[in-house]
Amino acid sequence: MKRLHTYQDLKKLVGSHYMQAKTAQFFNQKVAWVSSGAPVELLRPFDCITIYPENHTSICGAAKVGPEYCEAAEAEGYSRDLCSYFRCDRGSTLLGTSPIGGLPEPDFLFGCNNICGTILKWYEIVQRHFDVPFLFVDTPFVHSTVYEHAVEYVVEQLKGFIPVLESLTEREFDEEKFVKGLYLSKECVELWKEILLFGAHKPSPLTCFDAFTQLAAIVSLRGTEEVVTHYKTLKTELEERVQKGVGAVDDEKIRLLWDNIPVWYAMRSLSELFEKHNACLVADTYTNAWASANIDTGNPMESLARNYLEIYLNISMDLMLEKIQNLIKVFDVDGMVMHSNRSCKPYSLGQYDLARNIKEETGIPVLIIEADMVDSRSYAEAQVKTRIEAFLESLGG
Amino acid sequence: MWCGIDIGASTAKAVVFDERIVSKVVISSGFDTKRTAEEVFEKGLKKAGITEEDIEYIVATGYGRIMVSMASKTITEITCHAKGAYYLDNTVRTVIDIGGQDSKGIALDNGKVQDFVMNDKCAAGTGRFLEVMARALEIELRELGELSMKSQEKVSISSTCTVFAESEVISYKNQGKKKEDIIAGLHEAIASRIYAMVNQIPVKEKIMVTGGVALNQGVVQALKTKIGKEITIPEDPQIVGALGAALLARETF
């Protein structure tokens, strides 16, 4: 796979972000541990440094140290059936290490259950460990439409956090700064969306493995100037590739859609396997989950609530199917690969039904592989590779 | 001439092909996969009465496929089994391959793989399951099929897990149950497991069962009952993957 030059910039961006967090106290800034689906824009006007344990555990996964940390959590009594992001985070805290030297301690926690119910229990454990406040946002599940009462319910919670945040950070809430942040966030999201849409080109200048890596910026630093600048550079690089007709994979013959969180420790071996068969994973449901944000200037808090209610893991299977079908159409894929992720139940539940529906309604073949995002003990490489190769052979690769 | 080499978890197979099967060989897979591949290839050549120079192209398949140094190309066993089965009988629509380490169902559409399903990281529903049970019952693997046909009062094995099923076998043994009745129960358990798996793909007739376990008539009978459809077994079910590899070698070169 041809590596994007922007990869180095991303490493610097994420590196300096963690560095900032480690020195936050010298600048009178508070460190918040935040879940990936939490409405982080609310924290921006308070100059908080946001740290994403989920991003950190994916780094641990990619560095192949997941099992070590998971085992430390298991030794404390946590079941192996629990989310490996949680186990890895817990293990890293207990051992006080990680590939980046561990996370800076939190001043408070900010979590939202729009991605899963595990977040609530996970953050309660973190809360007990560090003895810090935990601000929790409850987002009702969206079965068919987003009800007004659900929006009001979330808005009320968000508004309720303002005085708490004011006292925690010793800063006053600045509405103007908040709205400005929302617009920056929207700009980030829209740039991200444009970047992902480059995958619709033939050949595609990027693969979902690039997107998985570049995702770190939109997840951890959404709503900041740095991300806007970074994504603009990335966009230019992709534009150049398209102009020159350069594909991320040589001689692209098969275009695929990926579903679920990456298998972080197998990113390289999997990307090489697909490339060997001239197959490009041109899009995925995971990184596209950060590609929508609408803002109503008249009612910013409501827009924020609405955006975070509608995220991919907080919607019904019917709505997920609609989104997948749209991706199949936009990216013109020949097949779909679903990662049945032992850790992530909300993401993996229903995949067999979704696969059947997709096969029936769109006629494209779907492959389901079994793995785990961080815990490589749940991954049988030879079996997964055989499945993928057989799937690609049946697609003519 | 063309050659297909299939290195499985339990056995290694080679087929030399030239408009028809010239030779076919099955040997046990040793610890040294490279050596196993060389051995099965040499035996295949010898049986065909030819030398390496007579072979135009070699395709390797099976779990050890990447270790076959003389092969020019590797292709998965799914594609190879589909190819081999379709060559033997072009009315086949479903292939159920039960090997030493895994089992799979393949749906064919005009000889092409339309869909497939494989067992997960689990020995249930594979030859390994039977190997473990044969050891627990102190009999040879190849005796299982014939013995089970004598069963009058089949026991019920409720676990599909190999480890738990083995402890069930031991408890039946201690209750004084007959070997043939326990074996018949085991065959039913393996058939149930495979049935549940292959049902994820549309199981259409004609159904062909391949792989070493197809040599066990007890499993085949139990599978027939479970699926409720006729099953065909090729003359030499173990070599279907290697045959497919040889056919694909011919297509490639």
A252-296: per-residue pLDDT in tens? 999 999 999 999 999 999 999 999 999 999 999 999 888 777 777
Please tell me the predicted confidence (pLDDT) of residue A276: 95
Chain B residue with Cα closest to A394: B113
Could you say which of B112, B113, B121 has the minimum Cβ distance to residue A383?
B121
- Where in chain A do CATH 3.40.50.11900 domains reside? 177-394
The whole-angstrom separation of Cα A66 and Cα A377 is 9
The whole-angstrom separation of Cα B189 and Cα B161 is 10
What is the span of the domain harbouring residue B178? Answer: 92-233
Using a CB–CB cutoff of 8 Å, tell me whether B102 touches chain A.
yes
Options 3.40.50, 3.30.70, 3.30.67, 2.30.230; CATH of A6-149: 3.40.50
**DSSP characters over chain B:** -EEEEEE-SSEEEEEEESSSEEEEEEEE--S-HHHHHHHHHHHHHHHHT--GGG--EEEEESTTGGG-TT-SEE--HHHHHHHHHHHH-TT--EEEEE-SS-EEEEEEETTEEEEEEE--S--TTSHHHHHHHHHHTTS-GGGHHHHHTT-SS-------SHHHHHHHHHHHHHTT--HHHHHHHHHHHHHHHHHHHHTTS---SSEEEESGGGG-HHHHHHHHHHHTS-EE--SSGGGHHHHHHHHHHHHH-
Could you say which of A352, A370, A393 has the minimum Cβ distance to residue B76?
A393
CA distance B1 to chain A (A): 24
Structure token digits, residue A164: 């708490």
B19: left (phi > 0), else alpha (psi -120 to 50), else beta?
left
pLDDT at A84 over 80: yes
Q: How buried is B192 (Cβ within 10 angstroms: 0-12 exposed, 13-18 middle, 19+ buried)? A: middle
pTM: 0.90
Q: Say whether B76 and A386 touch across the interface (CB within 8 A).
A: yes
Percent of chain A with pLDDT over 90: 86
Q: Which residues pair with A68 in a beta bridge?
A: none
Please tell me the predicted confidence (pLDDT) of residue A1: 66
pLDDT at B123 over 90: no
Could you say which of A365, A370, A390 has the minimum Cβ distance to residue B76?
A390
**Interface test with chain B among A356, A383, A385, by most B beta carbons within 10 Å:** A383
Residues B143 and B191 in one domain: yes
* CA-to-CA separations, A188 to A56, A215, A225, B45, in angstroms, rounded: 21, 11, 9, 64
Structure token digits, residue A244: 């020159």
Task: Give the CA angle between residues B136, B139, B145 to the nearest 5°.
Answer: 105
Pairs of CB atoms within 8 A across A/B: 36
Single out the residue of A345, A289, A336 nearest to residue A312, CA to CA: A289
Task: Give the CA angle between residues A41, A221, A61 to the nearest 5°.
Answer: 125
Q: Say whether B78 and A386 touch across the interface (CB within 8 A).
A: yes
Please tell me the predicted confidence (pLDDT) of residue B202: 81
Could you say which of A352, A370, A393 has the minimum Cβ distance to residue B120?
A370
Percent of chain B with pLDDT over 90: 83
Residues B157 and B46 in one domain: no
CA distance B29 to chain A (A): 17
pLDDT at A222 over 90: no
Please tell me the predicted confidence (pLDDT) of residue B159: 81
**Interface test with chain A among B108, B117, B118, B201, by most A beta carbons within 10 Å:** B118
Q: Say whether A390 and B120 touch across the interface (CB within 8 A).
A: no
- How many CB atoms are closer than 10 A to CB A289? 20
Residues B145 and B186 in one domain: yes
Mean pLDDT value across residues A373-377: 96
pLDDT at A119 over 80: yes
HSE at residue A120, side-chain half, CA atoms within 13 A, is: 8
The whole-angstrom separation of Cα A97 and Cα A102 is 5
Structure token digits, residue B115: 């869909």
CA distance B245 to chain A (A): 13
Q: Say whether B116 and A386 touch across the interface (CB within 8 A).
A: no
**Interface test with chain A among B116, B201, B251, B252, by most A beta carbons within 10 Å:** B116
Mean pLDDT value across residues B189-214: 92
Task: Give the CA angle between residues B208, B121, B203 to the nearest 5°.
Answer: 25
* Residue appearing with tokens 């979704």: A354
Mean pLDDT value across residues A108-129: 97
Q: Say whether B63 and A370 touch across the interface (CB within 8 A).
A: no
Residues B124 and B70 in one domain: no
The domain defined by A177-394 folds into Rossmann fold (3.40.50)
Question: The complex's ipTM?
Answer: 0.83
- How many CB atoms are closer than 10 A to CB A78? 17
Could you say which of B63, B75, B120 has the minimum Cβ distance to residue A382?
B63
Single out the residue of A43, A92, A52 nearest to residue A72, CA to CA: A92
Q: Say whether B116 and A365 touch across the interface (CB within 8 A).
A: no
CB-CB neighbors (< 8 A) of B115 in chain A? 365
Mean pLDDT value across residues A321-331: 96
Q: Say whether A383 and B116 touch across the interface (CB within 8 A).
A: no
Portion 137-196 of B in contact with A at CB < 8 A: none
Q: Say whether A386 and B114 touch across the interface (CB within 8 A).
A: no
What does the DSSP 8-state code read for residue A142? Answer: B
CA distance B124 to chain A (A): 15
- How many CB atoms are closer than 10 A to CB B89? 11
Q: Say whether A390 and B114 touch across the interface (CB within 8 A).
A: no
Which amino acid appears at position B35 of this protein? R
Q: Say whether B113 and A390 touch across the interface (CB within 8 A).
A: yes
Rounded to whole angstroms, the maximal C-alpha distance in chain A is 62
Residues B85 and B129 in one domain: no
CA distance A335 to chain B (A): 12
Please tell me the predicted confidence (pLDDT) of residue A2: 80
* CA-to-CA separations, A323 to A201, A362, B187, B234, in angstroms, rounded: 19, 13, 44, 45
**How many domains is chain B partitioned into structurally?**
2
The whole-angstrom separation of Cα A359 and Cα B40 is 40
Displacement of CA A371 from its chain's centroid (Å): 17
* Strand B73-74 versus strand A108-112 pairing type: unpaired
Residues B226 and B246 in one domain: no
Sheet order of strands, B73-74 included: B21-28, B11-17, B2-7, B57-61, B73-74
Single out the residue of B165, B81, B160, B65 nearest to residue B120, CA to CA: B160
Q: Say whether B79 and A390 touch across the interface (CB within 8 A).
A: yes
Cα pseudo-dihedral B233, B234, B237, B242, rounded to 10: -140
Helices (H), A338-394: 345-348, 351-362, 381-394
**Interface test with chain A among B77, B121, B122, B201, by most A beta carbons within 10 Å:** B121
The whole-angstrom separation of Cα B114 and Cα B107 is 5
Kindly tell me the sign of the dihedral angle through the C-alpha atoms of A95, A100, A101, A104. Answer: negative
Portion 338-397 of A in contact with B at CB < 8 A: 352, 365, 370, 380, 382-383, 386-387, 389-391, 393-394
Please tell me the predicted confidence (pLDDT) of residue A246: 95
Mean pLDDT value across residues B190-203: 90
The whole-angstrom separation of Cα B210 and Cα B97 is 5
What CATH number has the domain bearing residue B3?
A: 3.30.420.40
Q: CB of A235 within 8 A of CB of A194?
A: yes
Single out the residue of B119, B108, B63 nearest to residue B84, CA to CA: B108
**Interface test with chain A among B83, B113, B122, by most A beta carbons within 10 Å:** B113
Q: How confident is the model at residue A220 (pLDDT cuts 50, 70, 90)?
A: confident
Q: Which residues pair with B195 in a beta bridge?
A: none
* Packing angle of the helix pair A118-130, A84-95 (nearest 10 deg): 10
**DSSP characters over B193-209:** HHHHHHTTS---SSEEE
Q: Say whether B114 and A370 touch across the interface (CB within 8 A).
A: no
Residues B252 and B177 in one domain: no
CA distance B226 to chain A (A): 23
* Residue appearing with tokens 């030499």: B236
A343-358: per-residue pLDDT in tens? 999 999 999 999 999 9
CB-CB neighbors (< 8 A) of B121 in chain A? 370, 380, 383
Q: How confident is the model at residue B119 (pLDDT cuts 50, 70, 90)?
A: confident
The whole-angstrom separation of Cα B119 and Cα A67 is 24
Q: Say whether B120 and A393 touch across the interface (CB within 8 A).
A: no
Q: Say whether B120 and A383 touch across the interface (CB within 8 A).
A: yes
